Amino acid sequence: DVKVTQSSRYLVKRTGEKVFLECVQDMDHENMFWYRQDPGLGLRLIYFSYDVKMKEKGDIPEGYSVSREKKERFSLILESASTNQTSMYLCASSPRGGYTFGSGTRLTVV
Amino acid sequence: GDSVTQMEGPVTLSEEAFLTINCTYTATGYPSLFWYVQYPGEGLQLLLKATKADDKGSNKGFEATYRKETTSFHLEKGSVQVSDSAVYFCALSALNRDDKIIFGKGTRLHILP
The per-residue pLDDT for range B78-100, each reduced to its tens digit, is 999 999 999 999 999 876 655 68
Q: Which amino acid is at B93?
A: S
Identity (one letter) of the amino acid at B82?
A: V
Asked which of A22-31, A77-86, A93-102 is least confident by mean pLDDT, the reply is A93-102
Q: Between chains, do A33 and B46 touch, taking CB under 8 Å as contact? A: no
Close Cβ partners of B1 (under 8 Å, ≥ 6 residues apart): none
* Coil, helix or strand at residue A85: helix
Mark yes or no for CB contact A90/B43 under 8 Å: yes
Sort strands B107-112 and A105-109 into parallel, antiparallel or unpaired. unpaired
**pLDDT at A95 (0 to 100):** 73
Range B30-46 average pLDDT: 90
Residues of A in contact with B34 (CB under 8 A): 98
Distance from C-alpha of B69 to C-alpha of B72, rounded to nearest angstrom:
8
C-alpha B7/C-alpha B104 separation (Å) is 9
How many Cβ atoms are within 10 Å of A18's Cβ, its own excluded? 10
Distance CA A61, CA A63 (A): 6
The C-alpha atoms of residue A39 and residue B106 are separated, in whole angstroms, by 9
Q: Chain B closest CA to A16's CA: distance in Å?
A: 27
pLDDT digits (tens, 9 = 90+) for A41-60: 889 999 999 889 899 999 99
Is B46–A100 a contact, with Cβ atoms under 8 angstroms apart?
Answer: yes
- Cβ-based neighbours of A84, under 8 Å, separated by 6 or more: none
Of B77, B25, B22, B50, nearest to A98 (Cα)? B50
Per DSSP bridges, beta strands B44-50 and B32-38 are antiparallel
**Interface-testing mutation among B90, B98, B107, with chain A (most A C-beta atoms within 10 A):** B98
Distances (CA, A) of A106 to A57, B8, B59, B87, B90: 22, 24, 29, 17, 22
Tell me what the mean pLDDT of segment A85-106 comes to.
88
Collect all residues with Cβ–Cβ distance below 8 Å to B79 and sequence separation of at least 6: B16, B17, B18, B61
Which among A31, A40, A101 is the nearest to B43, CB-wise?
A101
Q: Name the pLDDT band for A23 (thresholds 50, 70, 90).
A: very high
Q: Residue B66 — pLDDT band, cuts 50, 70, 90?
A: very high
Q: Rounded to the nearest 5 degrees, what angle is found at the Cα of A67, between the Cα atoms of A63 and A72? A: 135
Contact A99 B95 (CB under 8 A): no
Going by C-alpha positions, the residue among B101, B7, B1, B6 that lies closest to residue B49 is B101
